[in-house]
A and B are shown apart, each in its own frame.
Chain A
Amino acid sequence: MLLHCPVRYLFTAILLLAASPASGHGARISWEVQGDSIRISGSFDDGCPMDQAQVTVFSGAAPSEPYITGITDENGKFAFLPDVEESKLWDVQVRKAGHGDIVHISLADDADIRNNHGGFSVLQIILMSGCVVWGFTGTALFFSSKRKRNNAHT
């Protein structure tokens, strides 16, 4: 059986190593309406700000043409004044070296005035990773036992 071989120790070591607190390098973009302006804040998963990231703002009235472009400051922040007469829907893309995200902002009266993307806690990440790994391992055990049964029959 596959998991009875010494290689299981290697896999176990890798999985234990990976289970230590860590984060990937995805991007989190949050926004907030402050007065007439919209303030964007970009950071990587590990909390580092997306400084000097390229920001492109699209209006809902002309979603294929950039309304304004710019660059975030050293704290990963950027602010712009939307023309609410033109549209109440705005899309903002923040990207740096192929990493980034797009946020959709509604300035309708009943819409939220901020969106702070909290991400996952370490416990949530461990729990979800455990579920997926358990699924993969179960699949491996299923096929491994099926092979063993077939060998026993023959």
Chain B
Amino acid sequence: MHIPDGMVPGDICVAGLAGAAALTWFCVKKAQSTYKDTARLVSRASVMAAVFFVVSWIHIPLPPVSVHPVLAGLMGILLGWISFPAILTGLFFQAVMFGHGGFTTIGINSLSMGGAALLARGLFVLLQRKSGERKILVAGFVAGFAGVMMAVVFTCSFLILTLPEYINTKTEISSILGMSAAHLPLALAEGVFTALVVRFILRVRPDMLLVA
């Protein structure tokens, strides 16, 4: 899921960093205007960033590749607009501490995963409004599932659209599509997990869902 250094051209990396910076600024502004208790939001974002940072080390072998949880949907549901900066922070520490991902690609990676979190959050709010509280499980599942799949689609799009001419593009695209397909079981599992977490939070702390 993380694109390492050297896999995409330099100009795309710069554009990714610029896009991530702009989206971070926008998300922070939106969070400040949308949510009253920003201190609570920052503390929650810190904990969730830690969770995001650590879960990437859970290695799930799905031959011929291995995948790791993303939790984009859950991040979006619990953090709303601030999920993008939280994911960016988690990615930064993953790159600094373990070289997981890359420094130059941190913008692209955050746009893929953070963008997926924001869109999953939008889906959750939309479905919840349409279906009512009883169908919140479905909304949580869809958000969790879509969070992974959208991140996969964004990442694969970045990779495929920037393939260099000197490599065998057919082979590489085939490998990338294989990797994408391997994320389907993970997306289903994350959908179920997100739905269960949402139901649990709804029972104990419904205010945490930030639905506005």
Q: Count chain B residues whose beta carbon lies closer than 8 angstroms to a beta carbon of A.
A: 53
Q: Which of chain A's residues have a CB closer than 8 A to the CB of B40?
A: 2, 143-144, 147
Contact status A10-B197, CB under 8 Å = yes
Task: Decide yes or no: A133 and B53 within 8 Å by CB, A7-B201, A25-B65, A25-B68 being known contacts.
Answer: yes
Assign chain A's interface to a size class.
35 or more
Asked if B51 is at the interface of the complex by the 8 Å CB criterion, the answer is: yes
Q: Which residues between 105 and 159 of chain B lie within 8 Å of chain A, taking CB atoms?
A: 155-156, 159
Q: Mark B200-212, 1 if CB is under 8 A from A, else 0.
A: 1100110010000
- Separation in Å of the B116 CB from the closest CB of chain A? 16
A17 to B69: give the CA distance in the assembly, Å.
12
Q: Mark B57-84, 1 if CB is under 8 A from A, else 0.
A: 1110100011110000000000000000
A25 to B175: give the CA distance in the assembly, Å.
15
Asked if A129 is at the interface of the complex by the 8 Å CB criterion, the answer is: yes
Contact status B4-A125, CB under 8 Å = no
Stretch in B20-28, B42-50, B184-192 with 4+ CB within 8 Å of A: B42-50
Contact status B168-A54, CB under 8 Å = yes
Contact status A143-B43, CB under 8 Å = yes
Excluding A22-B59, A136-B50, 15 further A-B contacts by CB distance (< 8 Å) are A22-B58, A26-B2, A54-B172, A56-B167, A69-B166, A95-B167, A129-B53, A129-B97, A132-B93, A133-B50, A136-B53, A140-B46, A143-B46, A144-B40, A144-B43
List 4 tightest A-B contacts by C-beta distance, closest first.
A136-B50, A97-B175, A140-B46, A18-B54
